[in-house]
Amino acid sequence: MVSARPAVSGGLLAFAAAVAFGATTPLVQRFGRDVGPFTTATLLYLGATLVAALAGGPRVDPLRRADAPRLFFVAMLGAVAAPMALAWGLQRTSGVTASLLLNLEAPFTVLLARAVWREPVGLRVGGAVLIMGAAGALLVIDGREASVAGGWGALAVAGATLAWASDAVVGRPLADRDAASVVLAKSAVGAGAAFVLGRAFGEAWPRSGPVLALVACGAVGYGVSLGLYLRAQRTIGAARTGTVFAAAPFIGAAVALVMGERAAGSFTLAAGVLCAVGVWLNLGDRHAHAHVHAATDHEHPHRHDDGHHLHPHDVYPQGEHTHPHSHETLAHAHPHGQDVDHRHEH
């Protein structure tokens, strides 16, 4: 049986990733106030490394030697440059403004995914990007910084979103590998590189309180979140995952408000409504058309209840597993995402 709504399952994974990441952003701003940006990145991805190392269960389709160059590149983008820029920006702007500026990651991701991988962007997804961009603009206007330092801080946060969007798009093939293996390798490389840079720039090591807090933020906001993000990306592609993940800034802003940063104004409430509309548009996306699967032999994680993997087993495995398998030519129409079996041209 073919899954009727891959947009829903993938969208919910992306939304869960957004909750995990967004909720920790104001906490990183608070606990990293007196910590150097490279040291902050080190501690965040140390937490992500630990949670990935402790993840149980079998490794389905682990990383391969050929993945090393791509993995190193995305680690430098997503686990060094992006968190370093975010940490630097968080020290110069408010938690609410910084959280909401992270909204820029969605349009960056959609545009890059379209340019690099030719992912289809329909009216609903395009509309969601515009609506969430408008919501972010409302909140930035509502909480804009008047100082020059605040302006540079906002620019640094925007740079972090571009680095994370580039990481997500360039690293899309890694989403087809075991998520825990990718998180572990990427986080370990990123934490190690950031540690070396922090020592080279003479950053002081913080007290134990901020260390433990930032490691915990990294475990949830970067380790758990990245694992969920990769699973979503495997199902619905980089563009759609990025637009649902755009809920993260609003979750971060809400947490910052609860922490007492400032009262919610009319712009904040209006932006929250727009955010909800944007997420609804993504979850309601239904990409379906007649398409042809050419005969092929390949290997990737798969299930036997998706209507595409019809090859025999002596005893059918339960759940997701991987092994080399063959597909015969198949023509049909059904709702689908951007998983490895549906990356055809449009």
Share of the chain above pLDDT 70, in %: 76
The pTM of the full predicted model, rounded to 2 decimals, is 0.74
Nearest to 9 by CA among 239, 241, 308, 169: 241
Per-residue pLDDT of 96-119, as tens digits, reads: 777 777 877 877 888 888 888 777
Q: 89: Cβ–Cβ under 8 A, 6 or more apart, which residues? A: 98, 101, 152, 153, 154, 155, 156, 157, 159, 160
Asked if pLDDT for residue 341 goes beyond 60, the answer is: no
More confident residue, 304 or 150: 304
Confidence grade of residue 201 (pLDDT, cut at 50, 70, 90): very high
Q: What is the mean pLDDT of residues 177-197?
A: 92
More confident residue, 179 or 286: 179
Q: Are 60 and 175 in contact (CB under 8 A)?
A: no
Asked if pLDDT for residue 76 goes beyond 50, the answer is: yes
pLDDT of residue 187: 94
Q: What is the mean pLDDT of residues 183-204?
A: 94
Q: What is the mean pLDDT of residues 199-223?
A: 95
Q: What is the mean pLDDT of residues 9-36?
A: 90
Asked if pLDDT for residue 145 goes beyond 50, the answer is: no
CA distances from 1 to 194, 198, 235, 286 (A): 46, 52, 16, 17
Share of the chain above pLDDT 90, in %: 32
Q: Are 154 and 97 in contact (CB under 8 A)?
A: yes
- Which letter, b or e, does each residue of 81-104 get, where b requires 16 or more Cβ atoms within 10 Å of its Cβ? bbbbbbbbbbbbbbbbbbbbbbbb
Asked if pLDDT for residue 264 goes beyond 60, the answer is: no
Asked if pLDDT for residue 41 goes beyond 90, the answer is: yes
Q: Are 339 and 113 in contact (CB under 8 A)?
A: no
Confidence grade of residue 288 (pLDDT, cut at 50, 70, 90): low
pLDDT of residue 4: 44
Confidence grade of residue 319 (pLDDT, cut at 50, 70, 90): low
pLDDT of residue 175: 81
Asked if pLDDT for residue 254 goes beyond 90, the answer is: no
pLDDT of residue 263: 54
